[in-house]
A and B are shown apart, each in its own frame.
Chain A
Amino acid sequence: MPLDPWALNDVFQGELLMKAKVIITPKAEVLDPQGKTVQTALEQMGCTGVREVRVGKYVEVEMDGDHDTIKTKLSEYADKFLANPNIEDYRLKLED
């Protein structure tokens, strides 16, 4: 049976290419004027029950390598560049 080039491509990508998501949010103690403004707008539009809104950033990184290597590498760069530890927290999610 001839090899299916698309199937091969899937396997190839699954092994070497991963999508990582870095979700960056303002720290709890940092005033988030964007979040506050969005919250007020939601309330004015009639959206009830909103307790708090925080506006952050979402960074998507496609990267070669295995799960653990990518996690270690991206944590390092998130600490020193993607997020500012003075004002932001971040979460790292890797697509399996």
Chain B
Amino acid sequence: MNFAVLQFPGSNCDQDCVHVLRTVLGHSAFLLWHKEKSIGDADAVLVPGGFSYGDYLRTGSIARFSPVMNAVKEFAAQGGHVLGICNGFQILCEAGLLPGALIRNRSLQFRCEHVYLKVANNDTPFTNQIPEDRVLRIPIAHGEGNYFCDEKTLETLETNGQILFQYVDRDGDLTDHANPNGSLKNIAGISNVEGNVAGMMPHPERASELVLNEDDGRLIFESLLYALNPGLTTA
């Protein structure tokens, strides 16, 4: 499979994503500069983390107007798979590809630590390879990860199974203490109604190989690979 990893001024997890896709999973990936107007022959798009445009005005608010985002919107409208991680999640929300918004952490602190995640829906292109009841341990690093949407939207997210990941404690219990940023319903990741666009605050690309002592994040990339082609085997 061939992945486009977007690159905005201020992206800083782009190389990590490319590394995981190419070296760890043995697939192709290319960096796509934000001024490009097409995503080329990519099978899926990754919107990586970082601080696009210095997080000025609002996180993701300027990046969403980059030319490449029009191409991403078209790709998503045709059913193409798009995953936004951290700043990528913020950009997809600002672009209207995902509902809601990510606001300042309730602690006002930048939180850089490991969190535990419960998979709220295992039947999606981003979670299908994650065993039921498996609690994932993946790092976060953000100052604006507090997921907010209005009540009606939240209801829709729940009814449609659009909530993918929720912050839990080590035992998998959903508690307020396990919520690092104040997100509604401990939400760490969601998808659109169609299910082909997803965003998450935690960084799976930072937890995808055992040389880093953990590889829970790999399950998310493997899920996406399975969704793209169920016959594929990874390296």
Contacts and interface: CB of A to CB of B under 8 A. Distances in A.
A binds B: yes
Interface of A: 26, 29-31, 33-34, 37, 57, 81-82, 84, 86-87
B61 interface: yes
B105 A87 contact: no
Nearest to B58: A84
B108 A30 contact: no
Contacts of A30: 103, 148
Contact of A33 (B99, B100, B104): B104
A48 B100 CA distance: 36
Contacts of A87: 101, 103, 148
Contact of A81 (B61, B106, B182): B61
B98 to A, nearest CB: 11
Nearest to A26: B103
B210 interface: no
Given A82-B57, A84-B101, A87-B101, A33 B107 contact: yes
Given A33-B106, A86-B150, 17 more contacts: A26-B103, A30-B103, A31-B106, A31-B146, A33-B104, A33-B107, A33-B108, A81-B65, A82-B57, A84-B58, A84-B61, A84-B94, A86-B93, A86-B100, A86-B149, A87-B101, A87-B148
A86 B148 contact: yes
B100 to A, nearest CB: 6
Contact of A86 (B101, B106, B108, B146): B101
A37 B108 contact: yes
A84 to B, nearest CB: 6
Contacts of A37: 108
Contacts of A34: 104, 108
Please name the 9 residue pairs, one residue from A and one from B, whose CB atoms are nearest each other, closest first. Answer: A86-B101, A87-B101, A33-B106, A33-B108, A33-B104, A84-B101, A87-B103, A84-B58, A37-B108
| Residue among B94, B101, B103, B106 with most chain A CB within 10 A | B103
Contacts of B101: 84, 86-87
A86 B149 CA distance: 7
Interface in B97-122: 99-101, 103-108
Nearest to B181: A33
B94 A31 contact: no
A37 B106 CA distance: 10
A82 B94 CA distance: 11
A29 B100 CA distance: 13
A37 B105 CA distance: 12
Nearest to B93: A86
